[in-house]
Amino acid sequence: MPVPHETTKSHFPLLGIGFVTFVTARIKAISQRDVPIIDLDWAFSQLLHRPGEMIDFARFMVTEVPQADVREALEDFRRRNRTDIGFEAQYAECTPLQRALLLEVAAGAKLFSHESRQRLATFVGQAAPVAPASVHNTLAQLEAKGILAKRETRGRYDFEDEHLRSWVDQVARADGAGPKRA
């Protein structure tokens, strides 16, 4: 019997210390280097518990920066794997209202509140608050692009990519646009 297509995302539990222990053992087996597990656990949390990135980072540590400590290696890894370049292009391709909504989502704002809709209006240069239907349609567009996903809570959305959320929150907001984080 076929499995019905799910429209909601499944959220898997975060990998933990068992995965980090495995990566630590692999680094030692390959490079003979003892890297403190607590440092690699910290790096894994900085990589948002993404196993693929952690494996790439471990490979990078062994092959590219074998003498660097974990913090230096992670800084170098991020610098060389500039995901933010793609974020700039992705953000630039959005309409002004889509950008404004991304700022609101990144700040955890209530998207359909009068205050949020007024900030959206200010961002796009209109006097009256953005209509709830326009907010809804724009969220649907961002969802269709794979940038946002609905949460189980009504009217709440999350970024598909936590790195993009962080970039929007830190870099795109640098010019003072959008709501202030609480």
Condensed to tens digits (0 to 9), the pLDDT of residues 87-123 reads: 888 888 999 999 999 999 998 899 999 999 999 999 9
Same domain (yes/no): 141, 95:
yes
Same domain (yes/no): 67, 102:
no
| Domain that includes residue 159, residue range | 87-175
**What b/e string do you get for 168-178 counting C-beta neighbours within 10 Å, with b at 16 or more?**
bbeebbeeeeb
Same domain (yes/no): 100, 73:
no
Same domain (yes/no): 62, 125:
no
Looking at the structure of the chain, the number of domains it has is 2
pLDDT at 4 over 80: no
pLDDT for res 180: 52
Contact present, 40 and 23 (Cβ < 8 Å): yes
Alpha carbons 38 and 17: distance in angstroms, whole number: 9
Same domain (yes/no): 109, 60:
no
φ and ψ at 51, to 5 degrees? Answer: -60, -40
φ and ψ at 150, to 5 degrees? Answer: -65, 140
Same domain (yes/no): 93, 70:
no
Condensed to tens digits (0 to 9), the pLDDT of residues 19-61 reads: 999 999 999 999 999 999 999 999 998 887 888 889 999 999 9
Q: Is residue 5 part of a domain?
A: no
0.95 exceeded by pTM: no
Same domain (yes/no): 111, 167:
yes
Same domain (yes/no): 74, 137:
no
Same domain (yes/no): 42, 119:
no
Q: Is residue 182 part of a domain?
A: no
- In the chain, DSSP assigns E strands to 148-150, 157-159
pLDDT for res 82: 67
Condensed to tens digits (0 to 9), the pLDDT of residues 51-80 reads: 888 999 999 999 999 999 999 999 899 888
Query: Of the candidates 31, 54, 81, which is a domain's last residue?
Result: 81
Q: Is residue 23 part of a domain?
A: yes
C-alpha pair distances (Å), 52 with each of 48, 59, 81, 113: 11, 11, 13, 38
Alpha carbons 127 and 136: distance in angstroms, whole number: 19
Q: Give the mean pLDDT of the chain.
A: 85
pLDDT for res 80: 85
Question: In this predicted model, which residue has the larger pLDDT, 119 or 82?
Answer: 119
3-class DSSP assignment, residue 5:
coil
